[in-house]
Amino acid sequence: MPVLKGLQTGHVGLNVTGLERSTAFYTRVLGLDVLAEGAEEGRRYAFLGVGGAPLLTLWEQSEGTHPARLPGLHHLAFQVESVAVVWEAERLLRDLGASFAYDGVVPHAEGSASGGVFFSDPDGIRLEIYAPTGTEGATAPDASAPTCGFF
């Protein structure tokens, strides 16, 4: 089957355990706006986005934390315009007490210009904020595997 013309990611839906907590996290860390919300018990959700376009949908319909060792979502990556923005995000995440896979901003691989910060949301969903350039000369956490593999 050929690739569908105009195919692109529309939005990503995430199951969360606490809608208020996750909405606060994603709006603060990613600067997303709340576009729509549902408050009916058992059907709580929030649509988050930029410029009126949804990027993430949060659905309060799970328990526990995201199991990284089971099939499913590996991680979500968000590209920003510069490594300076990545460093700003890293400082904010530290202030919020986020859990990091690596210490600070790191390249995607040894010798790579692109890189970012790798962390988890309050439900254990692995996330990445990265820039296409700016980490030239920095040492990758592991020379044998891509950093975004969260190995």
- The answer to whether the CB of 79 falls within 8 A of the CB of 133 is no
- At 1 the pLDDT is 61
Q: Are 17 and 123 in contact (CB under 8 A)?
A: yes
- Write down the pLDDT at residue 4: 86
Please state, in angstroms and rounded to a whole number, the distance separating the CA atoms of residues 122 and 25: 8
Q: What is the pTM of this model?
A: 0.92
- What does the buried/exposed string (b/e) look like for 115-128 if buried means 16 or more CB atoms within 10 Å of the residue's CB? bbbbbbbbbebbbb
Q: Can you give the pLDDT at residue 30?
A: 97
Sequential pLDDT tens for the chain (151 residues): 677 888 888 999 999 999 999 999 999 999 999 999 999 999 999 999 999 999 999 999 999 988 888 899 999 999 999 999 999 999 999 999 999 999 999 999 999 999 999 999 999 999 999 999 999 999 999 888 899 998 7
Question: Cα–Cα distance between 118 and 99 in angstroms, integer?
Answer: 9
